[in-house]
């Protein structure tokens, strides 16, 4: 990742503020105090090979639908290529950063509008009603990411669905909220539509990418207390996984090679 081109993208196009910066890394924030995203520039970085595991996209959750309208208007004004979908539970825009890392920015519909069926919450991929959405935009124009923006979910490419699902469900404590055939699973806590999604769209048995390639370094799961985290750690170890202490946190690796930092709120 080239910081010289990534910083303008994340600040000017997406609306982050810089929280901390070194010669090789930047922490980005929406509220001025909480780091939501860190980008690193490793030595001898290479593009991530096709058909490998890793990150499909990370997803920023905006507080209001009007915030999504402002961002859509901003993308249209700047000419940034984007995709858009209505997922029933949410409305979403999709973009890619200069290194090809995909980003979803979305707003949720109210939870009482979601439809839960016997096999989970109903989601789909429909066209978004852009004209209706744009009626909500701020007359003063786009003002950057709202302070209450959070990391809503992450979607991962994995090599084998069931073993990876067992790691997240039996190990880390998530529940299956929905599934797409035998290709994708959507996992959550607290009856959310998904905090983590897994898919095998890069192929069953896909290898992990090289360590110096672009893409995901690690992501963080925040547990409510030390007891909940310790239960997850012991469950992962019981499944044969590894957990390594990293300062006040713990690092583990899912069966697809995705690194996860286990933290506390």
- Quick: pLDDT tens for 229-245: 999 999 999 999 999 99
Q: CA-based angle 157:159:164, to the nearest 5?
A: 85
Q: Is the separation of the CB atoms in 82 and 73 below 8 Å? A: no
**125, burial (CB in 10 Å: exposed 0-12, middle 13-18, buried 19+):** exposed
**182, burial (CB in 10 Å: exposed 0-12, middle 13-18, buried 19+):** exposed
Instruction: Please indicate whether residue 1 or residue 49 has the higher confidence score (pLDDT).
Output: 49
DSSP helix/strand/coil, 230 = helix
**200, burial (CB in 10 Å: exposed 0-12, middle 13-18, buried 19+):** buried
Say what the pLDDT of residue 91 is. 99
Q: Domain span at residue 71?
A: 3-43+52-264
- Binned at pLDDT 50, 70 and 90, residue 265 comes out as confident
The CA distance from 185 to 174, in Å, is: 11
* High-pLDDT (> 70) share of the chain, %: 100
DSSP H helical segments within the chain, as ranges?
3-8, 65-78, 130-134, 161-166, 226-238
- pLDDT (mean) for 200-225: 96
Say what the pLDDT of residue 58 is. 99
pTM score of the predicted model: 0.96
Say what the pLDDT of residue 186 is. 99
The CA distance from 164 to 175, in Å, is: 13
Domain count, the chain: 1
Say what the pLDDT of residue 2 is. 81
Tokens of 182: 């035998």
Name the DSSP letter for residue 111: G
CATH number, residue 96: 3.10.180.10
Q: Is the separation of the CB atoms in 85 and 128 below 8 Å? A: yes
Say what the pLDDT of residue 12 is. 97
- pLDDT (mean) for 200-211: 96
- Binned at pLDDT 50, 70 and 90, residue 43 comes out as confident
Say what the pLDDT of residue 46 is. 92
Distances in Å between the Cα of 129 and the Cα atoms of 84, 92, 136, 162, 230 are 9, 11, 12, 35, 44
């Amino acid at each position: 990742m080239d910081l010289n081109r990534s910083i303008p993208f994340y600040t000017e196009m997406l609306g982050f503020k810089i929280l901390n910066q070194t010669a090789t890394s930047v922490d980005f924030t929406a509220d001025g105090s909480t780091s939501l995203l860190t980008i690193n520039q490793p030595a001898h970085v290479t593009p991530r090979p096709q058909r490998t595991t890793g990150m499909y996209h990370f997803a920023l959750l905006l507080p209001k639908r009007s915030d999504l309208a402002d961002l859509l208007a901003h993308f249209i004004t700047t000419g940034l290529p984007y995709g858009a979908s209505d997922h029933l539970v949410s409305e979403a825009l999709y973009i890619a950063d200069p290194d090809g890392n995909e980003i979803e920015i979305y707003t949720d519909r109210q939870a009482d509008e979601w439809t839960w069926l016997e096999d989970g919450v109903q989601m789909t991929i429909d066209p978004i009603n852009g004209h209706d959405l744009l009626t909500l935009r701020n007359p003063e124009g786009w003002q950057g990411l709202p302070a209450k923006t959070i990391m809503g979910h992450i979607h991962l490419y994995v090599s084998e669905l069931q073993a990876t699902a067992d790691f997240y469900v039996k190990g880390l404590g998530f529940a299956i909220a929905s599934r797409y055939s035998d290709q994708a699973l959507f996992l959550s806590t607290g009856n959310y539509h998904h905090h983590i999604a897994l898919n095998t769209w890069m192929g069953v048995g896909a290898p992990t990418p090289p360590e110096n390639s672009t893409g995901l370094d690690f992501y963080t799961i925040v547990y409510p207390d030390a007891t909940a985290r310790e239960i997850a750690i012991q469950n992962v170890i019981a499944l044969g996984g590894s957990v390594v202490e990293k300062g006040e946190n713990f690092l583990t690796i899912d069966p697809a090679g995705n690194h996860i930092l286990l933290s506390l709120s």
